[in-house]
A = this chain, B = another copy of it.
């Protein structure tokens, strides 16, 4: 085998399709008009089985991927739903997304996520960016938005669902829980269980309006019982579990009389719980603990933390249902309001609850 044939590698073969394929390519390959090709590819209108198959075959062999940009411009229909949330890394929004996806998966709609990091300016940016894609609807966390953001949402001319929170004035539809009420109910449950000296531990987040509202509801309900929060501390950054641990230790050391700690989220609550167990503190008889959110992630802790389920998945589902319904015309009204009930989960860190 001395004389091997040398086959030059053509660039055209090595590098596939520089120019993305268009309908026209499929049209030419199948000998069917662009319009009919378009019909086949979208399952619109009547097309004979014969041509349909010709087209499908051509599209497949060419590897045609339709250009939604052009389609959207021509039809002024964009099957995207903008979902704007403050953060992706805590446990709550992934669950909301799950709920949204569950519902949208049965529709032509697709969620697109934007993250604001709890910053109003960033929210404006993200919103502007997303609206410039002309989505079919917007799902946005919270009721507090800058004037500019509210104006954009109003002018967008598409359904807007504000989620998570119902304490405030919605722009259009709203799905969530009352965080004020959640705070109040937790306060009542704690007092009912016989605790009196209550500490609060939370995130240092002036822009986390929902945490703030819970705290307000909490202190308000305590005030009605003549109780004041005995000690409080706020953190920012770092691992929530570790922070919960540290803050709990610090607080218990400086305020020895505390018999209950209310955490603004389950993760720091879990950290606190782990600290208490390590330190040999008797939970819940000497010290009660409660968090917020009801994150499944934490099932498996030595003791189940008392918490209040915020119904995140359900919120996502309901919001998506509203968008889907109003997009496909099955819902014609606007401004719907769905208030879910936060559910107390007493767990094992709340003494003789009831």
Q: Chain A interface (Cβ within 8 Å of chain B)? A: 16-21, 63, 65-70, 72-73, 78, 88-89, 94-95, 97-98, 101, 110, 112-113, 115, 128-129, 131-134, 151-152, 154-157, 238-245, 267, 271, 274, 277-278, 296-302
Can you list 22 contacts pairing A with B, beta carbon distance less than 8 Å?
A16-B155, A16-B157, A17-B155, A18-B157, A63-B152, A65-B128, A65-B132, A65-B156, A67-B134, A69-B69, A69-B73, A69-B78, A88-B88, A88-B98, A239-B296, A239-B298, A240-B297, A241-B298, A241-B299, A241-B301, A242-B299, A278-B302
Flag if B297 contacts A241 (CB, 8 Å).
yes
Flag if B68 contacts A132 (CB, 8 Å).
yes
Flag if B133 contacts A69 (CB, 8 Å).
yes
Please give 10 more A-B residue pairs, beta carbons under 8 A apart, in addition to A241-B301, A245-B300: A16-B157, A18-B157, A20-B134, A63-B151, A63-B155, A68-B134, A69-B72, A69-B73, A70-B73, A88-B98
Flag if A243 contacts B89 (CB, 8 Å).
no
Instruction: Output the least CB separation between A108 and chain B (Å).
Output: 10
Flag if A271 contacts B300 (CB, 8 Å).
yes
Chain B residue numbers with a CB within 8 Å of A63 are 151-152, 155
Chain B residue numbers with a CB within 8 Å of A297 are 239-241, 267
Flag if B300 contacts A274 (CB, 8 Å).
yes
A-B residue pairs, 5 tightest by C-beta: A241-B300, A242-B300, A239-B299, A68-B132, A242-B299
CA–CA, A160 and B200, complex, Å: 48
Instruction: Output the least CB separation between A273 and chain B (Å).
Output: 11
Chain B residue numbers with a CB within 8 Å of A152 are 63, 65
Contact partner of A88 (CB less than 8 A), chosen from B94, B115, B267, B277, is B94
CA–CA, A73 and B151, complex, Å: 27
Flag if A110 contacts B134 (CB, 8 Å).
no
Chain B residue numbers with a CB within 8 Å of A112 are 112
Flag if A98 contacts B89 (CB, 8 Å).
yes
Closest residue to A72 on the B side, CB-wise?
A: B69
Query: Are A132 and B66 also in contact (CB < 8 A) when A241-B298, A241-B299, A302-B278 are?
Result: yes
Query: Are A157 and B20 also in contact (CB < 8 A) when A63-B151, A65-B152, A151-B63 are?
Result: yes
CA–CA, A53 and B262, complex, Å: 53
Closest residue to A154 on the B side, CB-wise?
A: B16
CA–CA, A19 and B158, complex, Å: 11
Instruction: Output the least CB separation between A191 and chain B (Å).
Output: 29
Chain B residue numbers with a CB within 8 Å of A151 are 63
Instruction: Output the least CB separation between A138 and chain B (Å).
Output: 12
Closest residue to A112 on the B side, CB-wise?
A: B112
Contact partner of A115 (CB less than 8 A), chosen from B16, B101, B134, B302, is B101
Closest residue to A110 on the B side, CB-wise?
A: B129
Chain B residue numbers with a CB within 8 Å of A239 are 296-300
CA–CA, A65 and B157, complex, Å: 12
Chain B residue numbers with a CB within 8 Å of A244 are 300
CA–CA, A240 and B91, complex, Å: 14
Contact partner of A94 (CB less than 8 A), chosen from B94, B128, B267, B274, is B94
Chain B residue numbers with a CB within 8 Å of A66 are 132
Flag if B115 contacts A113 (CB, 8 Å).
no
CA–CA, A95 and B115, complex, Å: 14
Chain B residue numbers with a CB within 8 Å of A73 are 69-70, 73
